[in-house]
Amino acid sequence: MCLGIPMRVVEVNGPRALVELGGLKREVSVELLERVEPGQWVIVHAGFAIETLSEEEALETIRMIEDVLEG
């Protein structure tokens, strides 16, 4: 099973962005998205930001993932 994770965009540098979730930071490609700005939330999968979403949607998704992991 593959899972896309919501992460907050910290910095955008051309086709790459630094994203963060819970202190974990990663550099990902944003080439699949039209426009990405710091502060936005994106779904990250396999090193690519594949979709933008609202903060509300991101936080709800994170809560659901945490619930599954806690079992």
Spatial contact of 29 and 47, defined as CB atoms under 8 Å apart: yes
Dihedral in degrees, nearest 10, Cα atoms 19, 25, 27, 32: -30
Domain that holds residue 18: 5-70
Q: Is residue 71's pLDDT more than 80?
A: no
Q: What is the pLDDT of residues 27-52, one digit of tens each?
A: 999 999 999 999 999 999 999 999 99
Q: pTM of this prediction?
A: 0.90
Q: Which residues pair with 49 in a beta bridge?
A: 44
Maximum distance among all alpha carbons in the chain? 39
CATH of the domain at 50: 2.30.30.140
What is the number of structural domains in the chain?
A: 1
